[in-house]
A and B are shown apart, each in its own frame.
Chain A
Amino acid sequence: MSIKVENVNYTYAEGTAYEIHALKDINLEIPDGQFIGLIGHTGSGKSTLVQHLNGLVKATSGKIYFNGKNIYGEKYSMKELRSQVGLVFQYPEHQLFEINVLSDVCFGPRNLGCSQEEAEKKAREALRMVGMGEEYEKRSPFELSGGQKRRVAIAGVLAMDPQVLILDEPTAGLDPKGRDEILDQIELLQKERGITVVLVSHSMEDVARYVDRIIVMNHGEVRFDGAPGEVFRHYRELEEIGLAAPQMTYLMQGLKDRGADIDTDVTTIEEAADAVMHWLKSE
């Protein structure tokens, strides 16, 4: 279930004065089961890129392969692709519309041609995965709290049984606990089901804590691609393009500048604590 992006370019409003080259020659390979963080400042092309992955936006040139099949091929079913690559937009709760939570989550599976019972089964399962119990099923989605609405909306995509789940800033506007809850749930899901997750985020701390691989976009190009420790080593370059490294990277760099012999590749609190203890105990 891999995705392969080959020489993809995308230009808005081609041939007019408003032409914007949003993606420039993107090449990427996303193998099965990876947890990927996609970062970049607003307008770096990351949202455009993820919309390509499930066929909502068609590349101006280049090819995208899903499981070895060209998604721009003549007989390729976009509907099928969209069920396999689930995309959760920013503020997904704004797309809720049904009279109760269960029917809203059923919307996706029903569109894919599932029977009512089958759809409900999938919807229940999806709701359970985001931590929404049975007691919410018959409630109106508009009565829920912000964080609950967001989970229901995510369940709406999960119910389609995607192999790849893309989330565009799923924690925007939530309080710290709400942020952790959503991300923990996604991590669990990724581990339990072995699906690929692409997390678009502005928070370097979140990305450092959860993902295996980071892709950094800038001006429509892939600027860095690698494990968190590797990518955050380039913290000065990240700052130049309006991003930053996690706070822990700065701490380690600060200690190193003071002459400490310490591993500067750590990015999370636990790793940092280990590294600091190790350094203090060493000679």
Chain B
Amino acid sequence: MIRAEKLTYDYERLDEEGNVESKKRAVDHVDLHIRPGKFIAILGHNGSGKSTLAKHINAILTPTEGTLWVDGMDTKEEDKLWDIRQDAGMVFQNPDNQIIGTIVEEDVGFGPENLGVPTDEIWRRVEESLDAVGMLKYRHHSPNKLSGGQKQRVAIAGVMAMHPRCIVLDEPTAMLDPVGRKSVIRTAQKLNREEGITIILITHYMEEVVEADHVFVMDEGKVVMQGNPKEIFSQVEALKKLRLDVPQATLLAYELQKRGLPLPDGILSIEELVDELCQLKSKM
């Protein structure tokens, strides 16, 4: 689905005459391989290059060096640009700054309109996508009256209406409250499971990552760790050094291990920890 080879990107700062004044490497020789239908999470602190990487998948940015392929299409090929953007949709952090329409359904229709989809088909897609994110009954509302979580789901519907195979969510929950956060993550999980859409979730909320199929951790533009959530979260100290965190259950398990309890590595949920502790107690 998505493949990157030695992907590198430099932000250039230009002086007044347009000469390159300084360069900052945001993504540094990243190799990625993401298979279709997976739920992928990318973790990293602010400024670790994860958003810059995400913008490459949608061809908003193109690599300074190296190559990125979306479904076999090289993002540097300009005549493939619209196909790539249709194929890999993108949801951004700020819910207010990505809704174009003043009515929910008109906003969802914006993408298909740009793709030149016939009118009847647009209506079908709008209805289908709003239904998929659970926002159908708000179709005639103004986005300004919705909560943050609802706005993000409208934004997801807007991408869904373009019939993508992959959706990149760039910190979609950073500005939301816990209720909104949960609703957005559940929506992403549902689309992944039921529609088979590849999800690439960029976040720094650890709880959102627990159910991902594969996690990449970024630091200074490089992928520094990858694996399934269990593998990643068993490295508590390493994550803390990367300005990250682990889920609360994992943190407690780690603390208890330090105090000498024989708990297994990579406990991710409260239920798991309760089970393990009860087993320990019964053996005592």
Interface residues of A, Cβ cutoff 8 Å to B? 41-43, 145-147, 172-178, 202-203, 205, 242-244, 246-248, 250-251, 254-255, 258, 260, 269-270, 272-273, 276-277, 279-280
The contact of A175 among B148, B244, B261, B281, by CB within 8 Å, is: B244
Please determine whether B174 and A173 come into contact, CB atoms closer than 8 angstroms: yes
Contacts A176-B204, A248-B248; is A277 near B259 (CB within 8 Å)? yes
Q: A-B pairs with CB below 8 Å: how many?
A: 91
23 contacts between A and B (CB under 8 A): A41-B179, A42-B147, A42-B180, A43-B147, A173-B175, A175-B243, A175-B244, A176-B204, A177-B45, A177-B243, A178-B243, A205-B248, A247-B247, A247-B248, A247-B249, A248-B252, A260-B278, A269-B248, A269-B252, A273-B256, A273-B259, A279-B281, A280-B281
Q: Which of B229-284 contact A (CB under 8 A)?
A: 240, 243-245, 247-249, 251-252, 255-256, 259, 261, 270-271, 273-274, 277-278, 280-281, 284
Assembled-state Cα–Cα distance A201/B261 (Å): 33
- Contact indicator per residue, chain B 12-28, by CB within 8 Å of chain A (1) or not (0): 00000000000000000
Q: Which of B148, B175, B249 contacts A251 (CB 8 A)?
A: B249
Assess the B270–A247 pair: CB atoms within 8 A.
yes
Known: A251-B274, A269-B251. A176 touches B178 (CB 8 A): no
Chain B positions 167-183 with a Cβ under 8 Å from a chain A Cβ: 174-175, 177-180
Residue in B248, B271, B284 whose Cβ sees the most chain A Cβ within 10 Å = B248
**Across the interface, which residues of A come within 8 angstroms of B178, CB to CB?**
202-203, 243-244
Closest 10 CB pairs of A and B: A177-B243, A176-B245, A247-B248, A254-B274, A175-B45, A175-B204, A273-B255, A173-B174, A175-B46, A202-B177
* CB–CB B271/A254 < 8 A: yes
How far is the CB of A35 from the nearest CB of chain B, in Å? Answer: 21
B152 to chain A, nearest CB (A): 13
Residue of A at shortest CB range from B46? A175
Please indicate the chain A residues that have their CB under 8 angstroms from the CB of B175 in the complex: 172-173
Given contacts A173-B174, A255-B277, contact A42 B256 (CB under 8 A): no
Bound-complex Cα distance A178 to B240 (A): 11
A4 to chain B, nearest CB (A): 29
- The answer to whether the Cβ of B206 comes within 8 Å of any Cβ in the partner chain is yes
The 8 A CB mask of B25-55 against A (1 = contact, 0 = none) is: 0000000000000000000111100000000
Return the contact of B46 from the options A147, A243, A277 (Cβ within 8 A): A147
How many angstroms between the C-alpha atoms of A275 and B3 in the bound complex? 48
Residues of B within 8 A of A147 (CB): 46
Report A-chain residues with C-beta under 8 Å of the C-beta of B278. Answer: 255, 258, 260
Alpha-carbon separation in the docked complex, A176 to B248 (Å): 12
Task: Kindly list chain A residues whose C-beta atoms are within 8 Å of the C-beta of B273.
Answer: 251
Q: Is the CB of A176 within 8 A of B243?
A: yes
Task: Tell whether, in the assembled complex, residue A258 and residue B46 are in contact, meaning their CB atoms are under 8 Å apart.
Answer: no
Which residues on B sit within 8 Å (CB–CB) of A277? 256, 259, 261
**Contact yes or no, B270 A250, CB < 8 A:** yes
Given A176-B245, A255-B277, A269-B248, A145-B46 contact (CB < 8 Å):
yes
Instruction: Provide the bound-state CA to CA distance between A116 and B252, in Å.
Output: 50
Besides A251-B270, A260-B278, A273-B256, 16 other A-B contacts (C-beta < 8 A)? A41-B179, A145-B46, A146-B46, A175-B244, A176-B245, A177-B244, A202-B178, A242-B179, A243-B178, A246-B248, A247-B248, A247-B249, A247-B270, A251-B274, A280-B280, A280-B284
